[in-house]
Structure 1
């Protein structure tokens, strides 16, 4: 089946309540009115947009598509910068159900939301950003991460003397070929030691240790963007030789825009790619799908139109994104039809998509279907299928199936693989069985003479999630005594540990001390964990402090901090004078939920004025 036929099949899957004869008009209005991406990037001729033959009906038209065209025009005049999950509003009960599946929320490249603790593996490595997409994201393994001597020398060196250490490395005759450099950079990125990774690549460039190619410049650009934001990254972009400002460089910049949920900047970068005549790839399209799936689902149709026009065949990752979006919208029929279309295209649903199906079947109360998929995932040779075992452990834990977690873990114990141990610790922790999680950890320590900090952090998170402050504090000391690298993931677990125990000030103190470290910075979600509590308490003073620290840490351009800050004023019943102007100055625009907040905040200002007049 060709890509055009596939898109046609996808279009036919979901018209929902819209009447078939009006779909084209509704979607055309919704997709094209005022959309920056649409105006510059899609099929355009003599001022009219032509709907491509095979795509629009594919993507589930939400109930909002039944609104009049003018409503869509208004929605595009206010670009969304959501960092929360998109979809139908869930009740508290529904949210509790979703929480059971927190480990399953996103396949790797869809984990772009900066406030998710489970970070985007595909974006966090050079291979993911610079090497295009993999069709096994989520199942792909980089193998056992062997710490290279070069990466360890860089990690251990103080930043102020890193250049001296690197010069000494060369003087001592140590290898510094492309292989050693690439391996070291991968380890530094996986360890999130971005500041030292940037210093390393700057040293390589300044000392002309390698001939920089586009991929190397893109890596440098990515690190600048991660540490210092888009403006600094765009400044660095001007220093890259024009001949090497290619698709990989702009793809890297686009990816960082998506990670920050920055719609305006992402659309600017995409249109630049198009204006320069650079190829529009599956990777690029999938970045836009990731972004719009989170912040503006109506624009997903724009991207699908473009893919059909450019004859870009949906990849496995494309299907993952769309299956997940259907599931989040509770459109089980639509989800199944997407999977059927995928099969018709000769693409077999991978474990990630099957895991999504299990999750959404269960949330819809279709337990028999969920269990049928789980059975299919296990197959007849689970003893030999390491990848399936690793996926099944969190799935069974999310479903509350302790017996099945125990059964799968018994199979895993014979091989004692580190990644399976890590998943088992998390699975037992999710089930609230702390003793089993501890048992897995202690046995792992006996078998493996050295494990990375992330395995310690997994158990620390179990203590945090189960509100075991005393055990968590003792274990954190053990981590230090065992020589673990204490970095952002550990700080995040400690912040959560103290917040869950009700010691908010201690959590804020840990966060403040961590932010003063020069080699790493705390995760966005660590700030937000503390920020949310101050917001709920109506503690404006501390909420403002966290807001400023987020900006200082380079986490500007995200809407959720403004939402939390405004809610702090509302909960304190204090007027937030000039808040709209404050957002406008920062080039931030409210989404629907925040507009409701602003109305509530305006009511407080009016009430205050009325009190004065009375």
Structure 2
């Protein structure tokens, strides 16, 4: 036990600990230099683990939370596993977090096996709830229902959380009609509904177009007294009204949203701006924007992004440009996402020169075009019939990839139309070059692309004795019509 306390002391005073300990908080070590890039985090984690330096338990908990929030599940799992081997005394809550990490990093079967391996003392509402949540995220309805039944059987003293997970699962799988039954079961079992329960119930009734039922839920919350509607409740209510064209009731709900936002939540302001924008009320959009700026003088990039998006959708381009210039003059980091909104607006209006100029200005400020930037220009050039420029945009987007590190894939409709252009132009060289480009972005370009390529060869009267071999290597099976064309373009016997 003494060894464990040496490794995982309770004090949070990092600066005064001995040289045996890491000289800084663990999460700061992992996120230094490369920010939140997974490769950098993994390298820093390996350096820490090899060093055998000690850390406090609270640091491990904080670090695991930050890694999970950033979607860095593999490094988080490795840290959790290694700290266990080094003597960290895990609570049931720690085991629940570990189980969630196993599911995200290794899959649901590994999470099930981990749960089975837990001592009975750790099989409580926390670990059962973690596994239930995993089933719900994987949309495994039967497994989730079976596990909840088991939780009732072993009498865990259920709270609203497992019921909320199941209701969310039903919502995601389109089984909204089953949610009112879960609510009634909670009431019968004396399980108190929380805000999340009420909000999911509201949305389920809205999906059935039962607006009077939605309003009864709000009234029930107010009568209950234990759970008061918050800004998310009124945000949901306003959105429900807007979906049905009930703009007057929607604006009343937005006024209620403002009243309950006494803690001046940034997200609440942003939802107000978005929802007033959806309702077409430009004056209210500007009024809430002024309130947001007063509440948050150091206004974040995300707030400017949201405001400029709303102004562009409301066709207030001068207002969007003014807001953009205000952001641009004071932003600590130039966010390409904000610039993309105006670039897109210019492109849609056919003002390519303005769009290009803004892209270059962003580049000079250190914000390189991302895949979305090139998507905007791709859409413009494609509509104009400028095939060369469109393909250049695709090449740039593929080379950059998505922001989450994944591959960027061009829209299938665009690929189809570009391959059709090459076929019509009998341009075999262009088609082949485009296919090679697509292979850089996707693992399998598919039979549709290869069939278009075959038709291009046939239209141009060109032969390719290797085509069948290529199709076999790509594991592509073509239609009877394409097979007929293959006999024309392939040398006999190949």
- Per the normalisation by structure 2, the TM-score is 0.62
Aligned partners of 2:363, 2:237: CA distance in 1, in Å? 37
Matched, 1:356 2:236: yes
Alignment of 1:195-206 (within 5 A): 195-206=74-85
Quick one: structure 1 residues 252 and 508, their matched pair in 2 at CA, closer, same or farther if it must change by over 3 Å? farther
Matched, 1:155 2:36: yes
Aligned partners of 2:185, 2:100: CA distance in 1, in Å? 26
> In 1, are the aligned partners of 2:64 and 2:76 still within 8 Å (CA)?
yes
Q: 1:278 aligns with which of 140, 151, 156?
A: 156
Report the counterpart of residue 73 of structure 2 in structure 1.
194
Q: 1:402 aligns with which of 282, 296, 309?
A: 282
- Which one has more relative contact order, counting CA pairs under 8 Å at least 6 apart? 1
> In 1, are the aligned partners of 2:242 and 2:250 still within 8 Å (CA)?
yes
Quick one: structure 1 residues 464 and 320, their matched pair in 2 at CA, closer, same or farther if it must change by over 3 Å? farther
Q: 1:182 aligns with which of 61, 69, 72?
A: 61
Aligned partners of 1:538, 1:277: CA distance in 2, in Å? 62
Residue 298 of structure 1: CA displacement? 3.1
Q: Which runs of 5+ in 2 are unaligned?
A: 1-24, 383-389, 421-434, 453-494
C-alpha offsets along residues 167-208 of structure 1, whole Å, 9 cap, x if unaligned?
A: 36764x7xx323333333333233323333333333333444
Aligned partners of 1:530, 1:258: CA distance in 2, in Å? 30
Aligned partners of 1:276, 1:197: CA distance in 2, in Å? 31
C-alpha offsets along residues 508-539 of structure 1, whole Å, 9 cap, x if unaligned?
A: 99579859x9xx6649xx87x95798899999
Matched, 1:253 2:131: yes
Quick one: structure 1 residues 315 and 425, their matched pair in 2 at CA, closer, same or farther if it must change by over 3 Å? same
Quick one: structure 1 residues 429 and 273, their matched pair in 2 at CA, closer, same or farther if it must change by over 3 Å? farther
Q: 1:431 aligns with which of 294, 314, 333?
A: 314
Question: SS of 1:314's equivalent?
Answer: coil
> In 2, are the aligned partners of 1:150 and 1:180 still within 8 Å (CA)?
no
> In 2, are the aligned partners of 1:222 and 1:233 still within 8 Å (CA)?
yes
> In 1, are the aligned partners of 2:375 and 2:397 still within 8 Å (CA)?
no
Root-mean-square deviation over aligned CA pairs: 4.9
Aligned partners of 2:151, 2:356: CA distance in 1, in Å? 48
Report the counterpart of residue 14 of structure 1 in structure 2.
none
Quick one: structure 1 residues 384 and 237, their matched pair in 2 at CA, closer, same or farther if it must change by over 3 Å? closer
Residue 248 of structure 1: CA displacement? 1.8
C-alpha offsets along residues 228-268 of structure 1, whole Å, 9 cap, x if unaligned?
A: 43123223334444422332223222223323333233223
Which of these two proteins has the greater Rg computed from alpha carbons?
A: 2
Report the counterpart of residue 164 of structure 1 in structure 2.
46
Quick one: structure 1 residues 204 and 392, their matched pair in 2 at CA, closer, same or farther if it must change by over 3 Å? same
Which stretch shifts more, 224-233 or 493-502? 493-502
Question: SS of 1:221's equivalent?
Answer: helix
> In 1, are the aligned partners of 2:230 and 2:260 still within 8 Å (CA)?
no
C-alpha offsets along residues 426-470 of structure 1, whole Å, 9 cap, x if unaligned?
A: 43354355665565466446546358xxx6546546756886797
> In 2, are the aligned partners of 1:151 and 1:185 still within 8 Å (CA)?
no
Which stretch shifts more, 305-314 or 194-203? 194-203
Residue 379 of structure 1: CA displacement? 4.4
- Per the normalisation by structure 1, the TM-score is 0.51
Aligned partners of 2:42, 2:276: CA distance in 1, in Å? 47
Aligned partners of 2:119, 2:417: CA distance in 1, in Å? 49
Quick one: structure 1 residues 365 and 282, their matched pair in 2 at CA, closer, same or farther if it must change by over 3 Å? same
Number of equivalenced pairs: 389
